[in-house]
Structure 1
Amino acid sequence: MAASWSDLSTELKQNVIERLDLMSRHSLRSTCRLNRFVVDFTEFFVPRVRVSAKDSGFLIVIHTGINEFLRIEMWMGPQGKTIIRKLQNNYNVKDAIEKVFPSTPRYHAAQILCGLLSREKTLIGVMEWEFEGGIDVEKKEDAQASIQTTGAKIIVLVNFLQKFSGKSQIFRANKLMTSWNVDIDMEKWLKKIFVEEDLRKIERVGVMTSTTSLTPAVSIDSYVPLSWAGIHCGANTIMHEYDPIHWYFFVRLALETQGFAVLRFAKFNDTAKELWNSVKEPIEKISDKKYRKVCVAGSSNGRVHMIHERSPCGYWVYGMMEENVAVFNDYLRLAGFTSCDLGWLCKKCTDPFEYNYYQNLGRRVFLEPKWSGIWQGGVNHETKALSDKKNVAWKCYKEDEKMKKNSGENSGEGTMVQKIWGFGNRGVEDISEMMAESLKVN
Structure 2
Amino acid sequence: MSMHHNCFVLPLLNEDSLPCSGCVAYQQSESVNGHLTTHNVHVDWLEKRFRSNPSLGQAAADMTNVGIRFFSRRYWKRRWILQELSLSNIHHWYWGQHVLDMSEFPNDWISHLVGSFWMINDGLRKAVEDPARTASERRLTAAVSDDVIGIPFIHRTLGLSSLCNSQSPGMTRFTRKRTWINLLRDFHSSECSEPIDMYYALASMAIPKICVNYSSTVATVFQQFAEAMLDNGEWVWVFYCAAKTVNNQHRERLQLPSWVPDPRSVNFHYGGNAPPPMGIQISQSDSLVCDVRCLGVLYESHEEDLNSRFHLMWDGLFWQVCSSRKALEEISEVIQPSPLQLKARRYAFYVREGDLLCSCLEKLSFEDLWIILRLVDVKTQTYQLIEVQEMSLSRSSSDTEHAQMFSKCPKIKVRIV
Q: TM-score, normalised by structure 1?
A: 0.26
Of Structure 1 and Structure 2, the greater strand share is in: 1
Larger radius of gyration: 2
Q: TM-score, normalised by structure 2?
A: 0.27
